[in-house]
Structure 1
């Protein structure tokens, strides 16, 4: 037996890891290290930089003339910001509620093992394969008073029919809801359907034996079992609503005027087209706060459920 072999056996006998074992334990960390470093720099590093810029008087280019929270004060006094925030409440609230109701209804419908279920599921899920840019462009054509639904119905002879929400400042925000619900409701349906298929059939059969009607069983028994699915769907939809940008740009462009502005379009407009980087950074930080207000309760709930489980 050679000296190196005997030293290796001695090291293992003393509990010391060999060089090959050391390399195997550290190799995954070394492989992941560049990705982790890049993510830390380009995600969290730029978040920190954005916060720093929100405390400065930056305009076209970043500057480090610190003004404290003055940009946040300007933001709170900006009428356009409040219009964007109000639109987010309207758009986000309707978007989340309608998607939940419609997605649950479609999932319950498909859960009845109807014929052509696969084809219907594909049709409902197809909009999720499209980007919000494509969705916005398509619905812009459909809702254009001179080209879309209004022109088509009037061409059928109903000359008094009017559907001009796209150019109506008071109704244009609801066109965003229509397009967003059309795209996202199929995804919510898939979440609910997966949850429904995970429920034990014996629970439903036992409720039926007790004389419960099918609607009552779903309302009293099945839907309460889907609370984790509902919570996850709300988190995802609210996250989408807060970050909505491409749909607004493609469908309404923020107009008429700035009637359909959302915080994301407000941030882009002021940071990149109006040379107000500091103000745009402040709005971006408030958007980040909104996202964290949604994610933190979700993560807390997940960690608590795992700890209790």
Structure 2
């Protein structure tokens, strides 16, 4: 049956519209494809390569003579690694816990719509704008027994005052906690404050009508609603703690001796600078395992709870 001339433009228009819609649907994918490919290569590709190197006897340069888990056995037998791991447990635990407590407290304070809220929020957030190198150098001056807090208090007449944690092997790791908490607690406050401002006011009003006091409302109603914020804060702080390197180098240098070493400084000072690429790669994989040990159980519980619902 012959096609009329009026049908040809209609079919061409339909075909053109289909091609245009197809291009519009694929264009975002084509634009994002190079970035996704580069990210996959430089993140996950190098993670896989690091794992491969951890199974080899690589020293100054990569070598592909596989030794199985020999580098991990060497790492487990290294006393300095265990010092760094125990320091990470102390530093990470205190750092995360104190930042959560201080951040939540400051957020609750600012959530009361106090005067000069903007100024206080800026002051609390300002330390996060500094690099950990700057933070480490400043706190190294403050904690130096000869010219910092100890010297200042003694100049006021308190000659018996002592605050020399920076030079005490058993206490040096706690100076890292002080500096890190000072820098990161304002950021945690911002996370909690955003979460508080996102809670529906009707929930709070309903609790107030039931006669609940403000502390009880925060404890029983508001804080349970902030579980995603707590998880985000814990993940970010855990990441900061596990990869902490510049703060340690600037503040304690890993000393006295290697008493304040963390895994990141061990990986650099004891492995890579001594031509132990295989050993350093093994320590890097264990650090990655520490992050996954926190992330995977939480994601599993969240996905399981959603599936049950």
TM-score with structure 1 setting the length: 0.90
Partner of 1:204: 204
Aligned ranges 1:113-192 → 2 under 5 Å: 113-192=113-192
- Alignment partner of 1:160: what SS? coil
Question: Does structure 2 conserve the Cα–Cα contact (< 8 Å) formed by 1:270 and 1:277?
Answer: no
CA deviation string 1:12-55 (max 9, x = no partner)? 46x9943x444433333332222222222211111111111101
CA deviation string 1:97-152 (max 9, x = no partner)? 10111111111111111111111111111111111111111111111111211111
- Separation (CA, whole Å) in 2 of partners of 1:62 and 1:253: 28
- Of residues 5, 9, 12 in structure 1, which corresponds to 2:11? 9
CA deviation string 1:55-111 (max 9, x = no partner)? 111111111111110000001111111111100110000011101111111111111
| Residues 115, 96 of structure 1: alpha-carbon distance in 2 compared, 3 angstrom cutoff | same
Partner of 1:95: 95
- Separation (CA, whole Å) in 1 of partners of 2:155 and 2:173: 26
Question: Does structure 2 conserve the Cα–Cα contact (< 8 Å) formed by 1:58 and 1:276?
Answer: yes
Aligned ranges 1:183-262 → 2 under 5 Å: 183-262=183-262
CA deviation string 1:136-175 (max 9, x = no partner)? 1111111111121111111222121111001100000000
Gaps of at least 5 residues in structure 1 are: none
- Separation (CA, whole Å) in 2 of partners of 1:290 and 1:235: 11
* C-alpha displacement of 1:306: 6.7
- Separation (CA, whole Å) in 2 of partners of 1:7 and 1:285: 62
- Separation (CA, whole Å) in 2 of partners of 1:7 and 1:304: 54
- Alignment partner of 1:267: what SS? helix
- Separation (CA, whole Å) in 1 of partners of 2:230 and 2:17: 51
| Residues 144, 8 of structure 1: alpha-carbon distance in 2 compared, 3 angstrom cutoff | farther
* C-alpha displacement of 1:301: 5.3
Partner of 2:30: 30
| Residues 27, 169 of structure 1: alpha-carbon distance in 2 compared, 3 angstrom cutoff | same
- Separation (CA, whole Å) in 2 of partners of 1:74 and 1:62: 18
RMSD of equivalent CA atoms: 2.6
Question: Does structure 2 conserve the Cα–Cα contact (< 8 Å) formed by 1:239 and 1:294?
Answer: no
- Separation (CA, whole Å) in 1 of partners of 2:9 and 2:45: 47
- Separation (CA, whole Å) in 2 of partners of 1:150 and 1:115: 35
Which has the larger displacement, 255-264 or 189-198?
189-198
- Separation (CA, whole Å) in 1 of partners of 2:219 and 2:37: 48
| Residues 26, 228 of structure 1: alpha-carbon distance in 2 compared, 3 angstrom cutoff | closer
Which has the larger displacement, 223-232 or 188-197?
223-232
| Residues 222, 160 of structure 1: alpha-carbon distance in 2 compared, 3 angstrom cutoff | same
Partner of 2:43: 43
- Separation (CA, whole Å) in 1 of partners of 2:27 and 2:110: 47
- Separation (CA, whole Å) in 2 of partners of 1:16 and 1:186: 52
Question: Does structure 2 conserve the Cα–Cα contact (< 8 Å) formed by 1:271 and 1:277?
Answer: yes
CA deviation string 1:208-251 (max 9, x = no partner)? 34333322222222222222222221122112111111111111
Question: Does structure 2 conserve the Cα–Cα contact (< 8 Å) formed by 1:169 and 1:256?
Answer: yes
Gaps of at least 5 residues in structure 2 are: none
**Does residue 1:72 correspond to 2:55, yes or no?**
no
| Residues 16, 90 of structure 1: alpha-carbon distance in 2 compared, 3 angstrom cutoff | same
- Alignment partner of 1:265: what SS? helix
| Residues 128, 307 of structure 1: alpha-carbon distance in 2 compared, 3 angstrom cutoff | farther
